[in-house]
Amino acid sequence: MQKAKQISIQIIRQAGAISKRRFDQFVDIKSKDEHGDVVTEVDHLIEDIIIKEIQGAFPDHQIHSEEAGIIGTANDWLWLIDPLDGTNNFAIGLPIFTTSITLMYKREPVLGVVYEPLTDRLFVSALGEGAYCNDQKMEIRSNSNLFKGNVGWIQGHVVQKDEGALRLRQHIDVSFKRMMRLWAPTLQWCMLAKGDIDGIVLYNSEGDDLYSGILMVKEAGGIVIDFDGNPFTGMKDEPYLIACHPDHKQALLKVVKEGLG
């Protein structure tokens, strides 16, 4: 684990230096799917560097990366890589993006490393070791006035204008001071762990940007539950999740159930 952490921190800083240097420069942007998602040459450049380093250090581990897909044979160890979480922001010159690296063991996250290059914020969490931002321990916050707080919204690209999602999003938007939709999910998870926002509602968004954030929040003292209130564990193809301080579990569950009708 220590070797994995050291290598992840080293290569994610290298990746961040590339995205920072290339930010707001002309990039080759290609459409990724029918939903309007995009990919740039920076995604591929960063991805190649991270994959090469992980393969060199852990040749028996399987890797899944957002652009390259599955590399290697299935086993207990799986690396999840999102080379540029927030590509759509990066492509239009909006400075909200990160790189995320997660190590899974038997389908549970044991290491999460997220780097936000423009602010030089390095987020690191390891199972049983807490969560840190630039070596400062993070603790999720309990807000005495939750409904005057900020709640993040995350939805998968396939959701689009799903009626249930539209109803729930509208309800969250009017229930809290601010509903945040950054299009950079790992940053929202880190903000929750750090105490900068008060909760997250995630609607069917599974991917390489999910599990580093889940570990970050849990290691900062938060909870991650499904829409029925059950603790979220393992990996799911279509997750519907609430993340928050334990004090806010019932309030956020109530809001979600009201929003879904």
Q: Where are the alpha helices (DSSP H) in 180-231?
A: 185-194, 211-219
| CA 39/CA 217 separation, integer angstroms | 28
84 assigned ligand-binding residue = yes
Q: What are phi and psi of 215, to 5 degrees?
A: -65, -40
82 assigned ligand-binding residue = yes
| CA 209/CA 231 separation, integer angstroms | 19
| CA 199/CA 252 separation, integer angstroms | 8
Is-contact 210 232, C-beta < 8 A? no
* Closest of 210, 214, 216 to residue 224, by C-alpha: 214
103 assigned ligand-binding residue = no
Is-contact 156 47, C-beta < 8 A? no
37 assigned ligand-binding residue = no
- For every residue of 37-83, DSSP letters joined together read -EEEHHHHHHHHHHHHHHHHH-TTSEEEETTTEEES---SEEEEEEE
146 assigned ligand-binding residue = no
Could you list the residues known to form a binding site for Mg(2+), using ranges.
66, 82, 84-85, 209
Q: Known binding site: residues?
A: 66, 82, 84-85, 209
